[in-house]
Amino acid sequence: MEKKKLEILAPAGSFESLKAAVHAGADAVYMGGSRFGARAYAQNPEGDRLLEAIDYAHLYGVKLYLTVNTLLKDKELEGELYDYLKPCVEHGLDAVIVQDTGVMKCIQRWFPELDIHASTQMTLCGVGGVELLKEEGAHRAVLARELSLDEIHEIYEKTGMELECFVHGALCYCYSGQCLFSSLLGGRSGNRGRCAQPCRLAYTAADHGKNISGKEQDLLSPKDLCALDLIPQIAEAGVYSLKIEGRMKRPEYTAGVVRIYRKYVDQYLKYGRKGYKVAEADRKELLLLFNRDGFSTGYYEKHNGRDLMALYQAPASDSEKKAYEKKIAELHQMYVEQEKRIPVHGYFYGGADQPLQLTLTEDETGACVVVTGGCPQAAQNRPTDQEQVEKQLKKLGGTSFVWASLDVQIEDGLFIPVQELNNLRREGITELQKELLRIALEEKAQRQGTGKGVDVTAKRGKKSHGFRELHISVETEKQLAEVLRWWDETGTQTEGMRPPLGAVYLDAESLEADLERLVRQVHNAELKAYVVLPAIFRKTTRARYEKKLSYWQSLRADGYVIRNLEEYEYVRDKEWAGELILDHNVYTFNQESREYWRQKGVMRQTSPLELNGRELANLSDENSIQVVYGRYPMMTTAGCVRKTLNLCRHEPGVTELRDRKNVSFPVKNYCRDCYNVIYNSQPLYLFDRFSEVEALGAGTCRIMFTTETVQETRRVLGQWLTGEKRQSEFTRGHFARGVE
């Protein structure tokens, strides 16, 4: 395959880290400002300092991408985002990284030529999702870290999209964008940039109450990714941007990692795969800078496994600490304290009765400036010679420039004051810096229009005066049987008390083999049947559906509950009949994102699980579906707890994960596509606050059964009718508190 230019994309959690990344050889940096970024606790620059960061990057020909990769609420989208972005765009911002479809559409209206990068928080796992975003005008897709080289290559071949993938740094255990762990445990949402990383704590695992893991281990903590050895394969899979994680790390870490990746990307571009060889000393240096129980190559070459996990993190030895401190000091001196210098060519001319003239040129951009001073005088005593002029002009310390060449021409017998030369030098450097930034901004202006207004055009839907119907989702045949029995026996009793049962959702992953029969059962009960598609829809899932396409098309389901962009695109492509319903994890945090899906014909949308009652009331309409009971899925992960413990049986089941307080979280393994879903320890329960929930204005309420037994299912259905206060453990979720 023909080698192409690659981009090294470095993290910048502070202005100092930005400088370190630039000095070490990054082609681009990604950075958050004071708002809306996925690293709210980094030392993100604010206001003018952020504009300085853009200038600093552009001065060295480095691009800066601003992170707006969180979910935004209506008040933020309507009143704050435009004012936040406008100065940055006018200053030449290169791109914005987004998670929220509503944010994406607003930015496209306001700044139609600004490049949009679809964040890894969008959980992009296949051709369909990337193709959809390409149609929507996204310039780049940041793929899920769980994808293999083969999957990445297929996406590139079939979409031609510019792709960005992580090559170094921390790995989340959960698919990015699908994690509510920190949000539910402490109110710090990863979708709002405030993850507290509970996945890095120690846990034990149990099966039917019996400990199966022994002592506590870091069962949810992956080793850090180091794909240095795979750079040729990643590039040849179609990846353009090689992303380094680490906005919470110190500047020296950024510099050290960027320096090594710069070395090997250049090696690959020069010599190709055959000439590519990584020195052991460089691997050791990366380990020294930071690691979690070593490194792995992540998911590029394997789906999951014990060797990807940092089960035990041994403390650093004294010798390792000393070596680390020495390396940090070295990197600090080289890349943090010192400025990177831009080579410039200078030409000075001093002649009688003519203004002094200094010309500065920079080769990379072709920038050229000419500054002039006063006229030199005839020397009374000692004339100024070439050596004296060079001495003053070469004083570029404290600037971003270094002389590549300096040609000084001065006529004999002239006197030039030292102050005049110093002023000429300073003015020349200032003007050259301005010219370099002007060129960078002019290039952006050619492709970036100017936003007009702060219009947020989405119209609010009509409120429902009370719930019109109840929907119930099930994951086992026994749960379904109990729901149908309950409805047959009590359906008439609910009239006037509770909304009638209108539909049952059947989980495709758990019930795939029997869906045709189960859909008929639901229809025989005079109810609608919807099929809930998988939480993640990757290449293997799509291939399985393709093999049984006639089966899926003959189900006669009333519709499908979609849980990712890939499924929307797949169902649209196959022209499956039936209504589409958005599940809660295809986030509609604001009216703009709701409108995005309405424009695509997806009217009914399950409300997000992280909004509080007031926010839900602002967002809900007659097409909203409000969850009133169920265990929240806290993590959807390509990892498998049982496989990590070498206890994989290749059969579905539920394992318990216990934290240090002995709180138990159910972990359901889906073996067909080999992934886990970790559920909250307690179910959401809002039956006893029915009038409050009904007043939100949603048209439908939903009960979610996941790990419940027949007895638990029966008990919950009884509580639904009575609205009694639940005696066993439960949670209100975010109904009262919400997230920051």
pLDDT in tens, 365-420: 999 999 999 999 898 888 999 999 999 999 998 899 999 999 999 999 999 999 99
Q: Helical H runs in 143-297?
A: 149-159, 181-186, 231-236, 251-271, 280-289
Instruction: Dump pLDDT digits (tens) for 682-726.
Output: 999 999 999 999 999 999 999 999 999 999 999 999 999 998 888
Q: Is 254 left (phi over 0), alpha (psi -120 to 50) or beta?
A: alpha
Tell me the per-residue pLDDT of 670-683, one tens digit each, with 9 for 90 and over: 988 999 999 999 99
CA-CA distance, 30 to 628, in Å (whole number)? 39
Residue 451 in this model has a pLDDT that exceeds 50: no
DSSP designation for 199: G
Q: Stretch 537-561: mean pLDDT, rounded?
A: 94
pLDDT for res 1: 40
Question: What pLDDT was estimated at residue 450?
Answer: 47
185-206 average pLDDT score: 90
Q: What is the mean pLDDT of residues 110-125?
A: 96
What pLDDT is recorded for position 481? 98
Cα–chain center distance at 599: 25
DSSP-derived 3-state class of residue 21: helix
Average pLDDT over residues 482-500: 86
> In terms of pLDDT, which residue wins out, 190 or 586?
586
Determine which of 59-63, 315-319, 475-479, 495-499 has the lowest per-residue pLDDT on average: 495-499
Average pLDDT over residues 599-618: 94
Amino acid at 225: L
Residue from 639, 545, 537, 519 nearest 585 by CA: 537
pLDDT surpassing 90 at residue 108: yes
Q: What is the pLDDT of residue 39?
A: 59
414 C-beta neighbours (distance < 10 Å), count: 18
Where does 466-514 show beta strands of DSSP type E?
469-474, 501-507
**Confidence check: pLDDT of 71 > 60:** yes
Residue with tokens 């009239």, as numbered in its chain: 495
Cα dihedral sign, 648-654-657-662: negative
Q: Tell whether the model's pLDDT for residue 3 goes beyond 60.
A: no
pLDDT band at 434 (very low <50, low <70, confident <90, very high): very high
pTM of the entire predicted model: 0.92
Closest CA to 227 of 185, 138, 141, 165: 165
Q: Side chain identity at 240, as an amino acid letter?
A: Y
Is the C-alpha dihedral spanning 192, 196, 202, 203 positive or negative?
negative
What pLDDT score was predicted for residue 4?
62
Least confident of 78-82, 124-128, 267-271, 388-392: 78-82
Residues 347-361 have a mean pLDDT of: 94
pLDDT of residue 593: 96
Identical fold between 7-171+223-304+311-337 and 469-631+683-722: yes
Q: Residue 127: which pLDDT band, with cuts at 50, 70 and 90?
A: very high
Q: What is the pLDDT of residue 33?
A: 85
Tell me the two tokens of residue 607: 């409300």
Is the pLDDT at 37 greater than 70, yes or no?
A: no
- Longest CA–CA span in the chain (Å) reads 115
Beta bridge partners of 32: none
Instruction: Give, in order, the Cα–Cα distances in Å from 24 to each of 10, 94, 210, 328, 336.
Output: 10, 20, 51, 14, 9
- 443, amino acid identity: E
469-631+683-722 has which CATH code? Answer: 3.20.20.70
Q: 342 pairs with which residues across the strands?
A: 401
Q: What is the pLDDT of residue 152?
A: 99
User: Which position has the higher pLDDT, 63 or 317?
Assistant: 63
- What's residue 443's pLDDT? 74
Amino acid identity at 436: L
CA angle 270, 275, 276 (to 5 degrees): 90
Question: Could you tell me the sign of the dihedral formed by the alpha carbons of 388, 389, 390, 391, in that order?
Answer: positive
Q: Which fold has domain 7-171+223-304+311-337?
A: TIM Barrel (3.20.20)
**In this predicted structure, what is the pLDDT of residue 453?**
46
Question: Residue 442 — pLDDT band, cuts 50, 70, 90?
Answer: confident
10 Å CB burial of residue 454 (0-12, 13-18, 19+) is: middle
| Lowest mean per-residue pLDDT among 3-7, 55-59, 605-609 | 3-7
Pick the more confident residue, 314 or 202: 202
Mean pLDDT lowest among 159-173, 273-287, 455-469, 622-636: 455-469
Average pLDDT over residues 11-37: 92
Predicted confidence at residue 72, as pLDDT, reads 94
Average pLDDT over residues 217-229: 96
pLDDT averaged over every residue in the chain: 92
Using CB atoms within 10 Å of the CB of residue 477, give its burial: 0 to 12 exposed, 13 to 18 middle, 19+ buried: middle
Distance CA 114, CA 66 (A): 11
pLDDT at 2: 46
- The reported pLDDT for the residue numbered 649 is 86
The reported pLDDT for the residue numbered 338 is: 85
Angle at 68 between CA 65 and CA 69, to 5 degrees: 105
**Span of 253-257, 337-341, 511-515, 567-571 with lowest mean pLDDT:** 337-341
Label each residue of 334-366 as H, E or C. Answer: HHHHCCCCEEEEEEEEECCCCCCEEEEECCCCC
Residue 455 banded pLDDT, cuts 50, 70, 90: low
pLDDT at 356: 94
C-beta separation of 129 from 565 below 8 A: yes
Structural domain boundaries in the chain: 7-171+223-304+311-337, 181-221+632-681, 342-445, 469-631+683-722
Is the pLDDT at 222 greater than 80? The verdict is yes
